[in-house]
Structure 1
Amino acid sequence: MTDKTVVTPVIMSGGSGTRLWPMSRQARPKQLRALMSDHTLLQETALRASGETGDVTFGDPIIICNAAHREEIAAQMDAVGITPAAIVLEPVGRNTAPCAAAAAALMAETGEDGLMLLLPADHHIRDAEGFRAAVARAAGAARDGALVTFGIRPDGPETGYGYIRRGEKSGAVYSVDQFVEKPDRKTAERYLEEGLYSWNAGIFLFRADRLAEEMRGQCPEILDAAAAALKAALRSDGVIALDPAIFADCPSDSIDYAVMEKTSRAAVLPMDIGWSDIGSWSALWELADKDEAGLAAHSDRVIAIGARNSYVRSDGPLVAALGVEDLIVVASGDAVLIARRDAVQDVKKVVEELKDRGRKDLV
């Protein structure tokens, strides 16, 4: 009987709650909301990174989050029958590289010698089984020391994502020729024609000790600060509060810039699993079930008559939409957003204006 490879999900649940305002806010960002199903995005993430697939078994997750979300996250995990291996509290946000370093240090401390699956809490994946199968396919390369990133097969010339250019194939994965920044449309169209590029989904698989070794060479100050903050952390009942002073001094950087773009061991596994980072309300409209007029209307608090190609949602007052077209209408709590579908990227400007006005109650 083949021994199972243990994969520990490390779920990064940060975020400031701006792109899906007013439903997503600092106190309850989008990963803590049920946007695509009866489960929140965090619950969906934890559930799809669980169980067994092929030669891989998923262990209890490590969840790294804002200290203010601790109780909500614990309650949401309990509601779906998942007991985290640890809930690690960040006193301040420091991007994804310190998250990964702290998780690697924690796995080393507990003697866990399996693989670390680093993934955001706020993405949607339609094909959960396909995702687990992709992790299982990449496990061999990760065990052998590769730092694997998962690429999404592009279905259009998207300019909002970074891209990964793949090189030679080795087993189930490809070498990474290049990470490229968000392109303009003409460049994105060329990437699509060439057929060698994937969207960068920000999901990674590697051995914890291999990641630590790479960080020792590429960004030792991040590794040292994260490990020191973990060593000095306050611990109680599975909750680990990283030392505030030490972690605040940790450089802020992404795992992409700090490690993946510098290492010679980067590999990519392309996958087609119905992935979205749900980066805007228009993305939710695209993913949602719609009627023949292109209307996505959610909840019994919405009445939509003659509406076309629109997304209407409320968890507060009744919203009646009559004859509207190409609109996003979202009512939540004490705020209502009305925007053209092609203007929703400017929601962050509304949040900035509210901050300038001192309206913390709405942010």
Structure 2
Amino acid sequence: MPKISNRAANMPASPIRKLVPYALAAKQRGTKVYHLNIGQPDIETPETALVELQKIDLKVLEYSLSEGNLEYRKALENYYHSLGFTDLTTDNFIVTNGGSEALNFALSTLCDEGDEIIIPEPYYANYNGFSNHINAKVVAVPSSIDTGFALPSIEEFEKKITDKTRAILICNPGNPTGYLYTKEELKRLAEIALKHDIVVISDEVYREYVYDGEKQTSMLEFPELAENCIIIDSESKRYSMCGVRIGFMVTRSKVIKGAAMKFAQARLSPVLLGQIIAAKAHQNDTAYIQSVREEYTKRRNLLVQLLNEIPGVNCPMPKGAFYCMAELPIDDADKFAQWLLESYSHNSETIMVAPAGGFYSNPELGKKQVRIAYVLKEEDLKRSAELLKDALEKYQSL
């Protein structure tokens, strides 16, 4: 029996995907599963991108440049100029195989073994996995469902800073909470990053999807942070093209860019076809983004209302992304989520949720919580809420 590495043994299982075998078994039994567990939208990819895919007539599918092909990086430059960051050029971008690789590059660039990354929790579960992969340590700053997962005080962040701290990592708007940072909150994060000469890594892949007339504030809006900021971005959620695997990192720092390029060159190149499709998606996308935002707004409003009508359920209203966190009247969300797939069905239907323990450094903090993605059409969300209510009633009587 071959011996696996400690790194592999210590790699945490994904709370989002670990229940997949149970979902597959339920489907094999003839049960319809409503997938509320993963951020895979049912929104159609822009037609312009799909048409471009059909038109590609390359005779050789060659490597792209390690930093990404110029045509796509020019599309990114234009996109960021439209956001107001007119100082950025194609040299500020490294194209990656999804936002996940961009984050991997960022952490690998900044951290040695034993170094620390401060993250407000709950946080995207793969932040744990990526940190574990490079033997860095996540230092969590807890937020609470009782305050809608508002950012903890800056003083709480500063208490966590040590000589091992290399970065503060945030997701804005947040996955899994949907929390939207205010400009004042981000300004204070920028101030302590500069004070301690650490980097702010800002995951902004859900930038377009903020609601109620709010506006997302990018960390790029703080020019004083030029040498201490990395943006993680992706086309996956913006254009509902998760399978294309195109993301990118953005930085004004030549030192960070130069170091990250070594990792980009080591993995050779990002996906060629994905860059071609993504560049096309950026053209004339205003109407598409607006219509998708309106659709998510309706879904969010419906789902959160229905969840809060279920006895014992507490679900704060998210301000962005397409997730909400709900506290349920149960003792163990992992057991409940597995029971939903193994033992529960109503008219041969059930739901799949993501237990929230995996979004915390201390799983006990999320033991009664689940993350729900409102990536299904309204009638499916309504049915899912009905199933959840029925399932909770049955589960509590066991």
Query: Please, what TM-score do these two structures have when normalized by structure 1?
Result: 0.28
Query: Please, what TM-score do these two structures have when normalized by structure 2?
Result: 0.27
Structure number with greater CO (CA < 8 Å, separation at least 6) is 2
